[in-house]
Amino acid sequence: MSLIKLFIENEVNLHTLDLEASNTNYDTYIENILEIILQNPNFISNNIRNLKFSISSSGSKIVNRVTQIINSNQNLKKISFISNTNTFLLYQSLLLSKESNCSNTLNTIIFYYINFNGINNLDKIFEQLNVLESVHIIFCYSLDSFIQQIIKLTKPFKLKSLFLLMRLQIESLQLLLQKSGNYLENLGDCLNYNNLSSDQQLLQLIINYCKNIRFLDLHSRINDITSSIFSLIENIKQNLNYLSINL
């Protein structure tokens, strides 16, 4: 805490300030640090280029203070939700708020290991993010539920990265790629059906809807899809920078 005070008093310019606490025993300590930061709003605006929170606690004081810090930032451009689904639920109100500054500044959202089961209002959140240019979904759960909400959007959904951890219904994936396939640049771990027909269907969906893939990582136990993979590579070769195939 004294180090934070020292930074503030000397107007130190920080490239990144990363506050991490995976143990609730440190909640009081984190609360005090956040309170000091809140009392010095210019430190956030003028002296920190990247502010990162890796806090597993869902205590109301910490959540309220983090929310205040995020909302006080006049130029929030990127936010990541990593592993803790409860944390995302707690910050939903901020993203849904029409008074929030981030609706006109936030251009990148990353979801990493988030379980979307029971999470609602995603379409409303994305609908009011006016300058969002990049969404990344990395090894998340319950994507079928996520997709059913996203396809309701009246504006484009600029999905740039999709790395699958679990099988999706082919019908759901088709709806997602119809909505966002043209924006997709990074695609991985998608051939996990262990079924020739399903893997071929999926490859055909990628061929049909995803023309701008730059990073492609395919895993399958089916060897009879080689010709479909070559067709896919031919279709995206103009933009492809990285290719990994594990059969």
**CATH code of the domain in which 113 resides:** 3.80.10.10
Distance CA 199, CA 191 (A): 6
Pairwise pLDDT comparison (243 vs 63), residue with the higher score: 243
Q: Among the three residues 18, 41, 70, which one is the final residue of a domain in this structure?
A: 70
Predicted confidence at residue 68, as pLDDT, reads: 81
Which comes out higher in pLDDT, residue 96 or 201? 201
Residues 121 and 62 in one domain: no
Query: Which residue did the predictor score with more confidence, 245 or 119?
Result: 119
What would the mean pLDDT of 94-98 be, rounded to a whole number? 74
User: DSSP string covering the chain, please?
Assistant: -HHHHHHHHTT--EEEEEEEE-SGGGHHHHHHHHHHHHT-HHHHHHHEEEEEEEE----HHHHHHHHHHHHH-TT--EEEEES-HHHHHHHHHHHH-TT-GGGGT--EEEEES-B-TT---HHHHHHT-TT--EEEEEEEB-HHHHHHHHTT-SS---EEEEEESS---HHHHHHHHHHHGGG--EEES---S--HHHHHHHHHHHHHH-----EEEEE-S-GGGHHHHHHHHHHHTTT--EEEEE-
Confidence band, pLDDT 50/70/90 cuts, at residue 101: confident
Average pLDDT value for residue range 118-123: 91
Considering only 5-9, 136-140, 195-199, which range has the smallest mean pLDDT?
A: 195-199
Do 130 and 154 fall within a single domain? yes
Tokens 């605006």 correspond to 45
The contacts found for 223-230 with CB under 8 angstroms, 24 or more apart, are: 223/247, 224/196, 225/191, 225/196, 225/199, 225/200, 228/199, 228/200, 228/203, 228/204, 229/203
Q: How confident is the model at residue 47, as a pLDDT?
A: 72
The answer on 128 and 199 residing in a single domain is: yes
- State which of 31, 55, 70 marks the end of a domain: 70
| pLDDT class of 95 with cuts at 50, 70, 90 | confident
Q: Looking at the structure, do residues 103 and 45 belong to the same domain, yes or no?
A: no
Judgement on whether residues 134 and 183 belong to the same structural domain of the protein: yes
Please state the rounded mean pLDDT for residues 93-122. Answer: 85
Hey, how many other C-beta atoms are within 10 angstroms of the C-beta on 244? 10
Q: Are residues 182 and 134 in the same domain?
A: yes
Last residue of a domain, which of 20, 39, 70? 70
Q: Residue 59: pLDDT band by 50, 70, 90 thresholds?
A: low
Residues 40 and 85 in one domain: no
Are 6 and 101 found together in one domain?
no
Between 192 and 83, residue with greater pLDDT: 83
Percent of the chain with pLDDT over 90: 36
89 is written with which tokens?
A: 């639920």
The Cα 181–Cα 72 span in angstroms is 34
Same domain, 9 and 127: no
The whole-number average pLDDT for the span 182-206 is 81
Instruction: Name the band, by pLDDT with cuts 50, 70 and 90, for residue 93.
Output: confident
| In the chain, % of residues over pLDDT 70 | 86
Tell me: the pLDDT tens digits for 5-25? 888 888 888 878 777 766 667
Same domain (yes/no): 149, 216: yes
Judgement on whether residues 77 and 65 belong to the same structural domain of the protein: no
Total structural domains within the chain: 2
Domain coverage including residue 21: 1-70
pLDDT at residue 195 is higher than 80: no
- Identity at 179, one-letter amino acid code: K
Same domain, 111 and 226: yes
Residue 58 has what pLDDT? 61
For the stretch 142-154, pLDDT in tens is: 999 999 999 999 9
pLDDT of residue 71: 73
